[in-house]
Each structure stands twice: as structure tokens, then as C-alpha cells.
Amino acid sequence: MLDQLEALYREALEALEGASDDEALRGWEREYIGRKGKVTLMVRRVGELPPEERPAFGRRANEIKRELQAAFEQRARQIEQEKLARELESGAIDVTLPGRPVQVGRLHPSTQTLRRIYDIWAEMGFQVYLSRDVEDDETNFTLLNIPPHHPARDMWDTFYTTRPGVLLRTHTSPGQIRAMREFAPEPIRVILPGMCYRYEQISARSEIQFYQVEGLAVGHNIRLTDLIGTMSDFVRRLFGPERKVRFRASYFPFTEPSLEVDLDCILCGGKGCSVCKHTGWLEIAGCGMVHPVVLRNGGYDPEEFTGFAFGMGPERITMLLYGIDDIRYFWGNDIRFLEQF
């Protein structure tokens, strides 16, 4: 029976050579190695042999099955390639066509700017501290030296929730209080990025939601000159070493003194254009020395500690960097806008 098997093996190999298309190949598979194929059936007859011949037959049968299977697969590949070659020759496939572009996702322009900002502050030793979006009235205002009914509250139009005293933060500054209360009396150097919300009429210049990046440094002997040096350094690292920086006196209830940071217009270089509204300067951050009341509310003794804080808007910075003239693009989710970054 072993001889019969060997003969069948040779016959099968020869028949496989002759199979030249898919259909013939499937026919061959059925005839020889399928469930009712000749080889399969013969291998099953091992039981008819005297016991001492069975191991040798079994071993050879397994070998042959494996080889036929491999030969079958190779022939299938060969036939596939021949088919492809024929198609190529007949021009059915145009190999000179350029590849189809693959769609890749990308980061939102605000996220890209945020990450640049993180990198720069990280180089200067500031860690990211995440505070909450839903705040209480006390932390968002009162502890920042803006008591109830104080006219300065008009600076922030607020989304209140139905729960008394609970609101959406109007700025990232309440994070100052939370960071101080967590770290006091250790020195602090953090930035606090996050979404802020304002109950405002949406226009080209103002949105009801936008990012802010707050900064806070608290320690011994931190002075106004440290704030000015740090902000100037930041602006030049982000916008280029040739930029001019200007500080203007301003007012925030939680800093004293308060300053506004301007840089010379990146579009016209200070000559005056529509982007800088013919002033030659672009406003890019608010800042100041942390007010003693705020330090005390955060758990620091203002006789011993000083600090500075700043706040900037990544959307505004992105608008300046790319010459975008309408802030509504950022959260309008228009793919044609987002694709450009």
C-alpha cells in the first residue's frame, strides 16, 4: 500500500503542474487532498495494514500530505502572479498612477499652540497644574480679591449654573488659589492651562469658550523685574528673538501692580497695519505681582512671600501667528479650517 501511496503522490504532483487556473486548482484540491480526496482516503486505510507496518506508512503519509499542501499553495501563488502579469500586460492595471493619499488626523491649532507654550514654560521650570472647569463663585472671584457686588465683576460676564454659587470659570486665575492651597508654604512655579467660559455675544473677536494659560510663581524675593524678564523671555522664545516687548500699566483685582504685555506687531513690525489697528503693538498677556490678599487666601504670609502671575490666550496667539482674523473658526468645527494646520 505504501507503493500505491507513492504512485498517487507522483500522480498528484503531475496533475498539479497541469492545473493552470483557479478552477482547475480547486478541482485538483477536491480530487486529491480534499475531505474525500484520493490521498485522504488512502491515508485513512492505514488500519488495513499489519500493525508493524503502520508507523512507517503513517509517517510517510503525513509527509506527503504536508508536501502536497505546500505544493498546492505555491501553485496557487504562481497562478495568481501569472494572472497579475497578464493584467499588467493588457493594461488593466496602471502602475504609473500615483498612490492614493492616506487621511491623517492632526492636532487642533489651539492644542498645537498650547503645546508650544508648555514646552517654553517647561524649559523655564514651570510645571503644568490642571484645575477644574466648573468652579465656585468664591474661588473664581471672592478669593481673588473680587468680593460680591464689587464692580470689577463686570470684567467677566459669567455663566452661572442652576446651583447657587456654582459657575463655569471665567478665567484660569481661580487655579492660582487651588495651586497655592495645595503647595503652601512651598515655593510654586506652575502654569495652569484650561478652557474658560464667558457669557458674551459671539463675534469675530470674542467667543463664549476659549483657552487660557495662567502662570504663577510664588517664593522669596520674587520681584517685578523677575516678572518683566520672564515675560520678555517667553515672548521672544515664542515669537522670535528679534521681537520688541512693551509693558503697560493695567488693572486686575488680584495683582498689584498689574501690567499688560505687548509685542511689536509681527505683521508690520511696528509701522501700523490693520492687525495691530495702526498702533504697531499687539496685546498678548495680562500679568502682575500677586496681590497680598490673594497670597494670604492661598495660605502664604505676604510679609514673607511674593509672587507673580500672568494669563494669556492660546487662540489669540494662534491668530497672531497665522494671521487668522476671526476667533469663531476655532470652535466652529469646520474641517476646511482645521485641515490647514
Residues binding ligand PHE (CB under 6 A): 171, 173, 214, 252, 255, 286-288, 309-311
Return the H-helix or E-strand segment holding 264: strand 255-264
CB of 134 to ligand PHE, least distance (A): 17
Least CB distance from residue 242 to ligand PHE, whole Å? 26
Residue with cell 494671521: 323
29 vs 214, beta carbon nearer ligand PHE: 214
Query: 320-328 long-range contacts, Cβ below 8 Å, gap at least 24?
Result: 320/239, 320/266, 320/275, 320/282, 320/284, 321/113, 321/239, 321/266, 322/109, 323/267, 323/275, 325/204, 326/204, 327/204, 327/205, 327/206, 327/207, 327/210, 328/202, 328/203, 328/204, 328/207
The pairing of beta strand 188-197 with beta strand 127-128: parallel
Nearer to ligand PHE, 5 or 177 (CB): 177
Q: Minimum CB separation from ligand PHE for residue 229, in Å?
A: 16
**Smallest separation (angstroms) from ligand PHE to the CB of 311:** 3
In the complex, minimum distance from the CB of residue 132 to ligand PHE, in angstroms, rounded to a whole number:
15
CB closer to ligand PHE, 265 vs 287: 287
Q: What is the spatial distance between Cα 193 and Cα 173, in angstroms, rounded to a whole number?
A: 10
Report the alpha-carbon distance of residue 334 to residue 331 in Å, rounded. Answer: 8
Torsion of CA 178, 169, 237, 245, to 10 degrees: -110
| Shortest Cβ 319–ligand PHE spacing (Å) | 17
Question: Nearest-CB residue to ligand PHE?
Answer: 311
Name the grid cell of 2.
505504501
Alpha carbons 154 and 148: distance in angstroms, whole number: 11
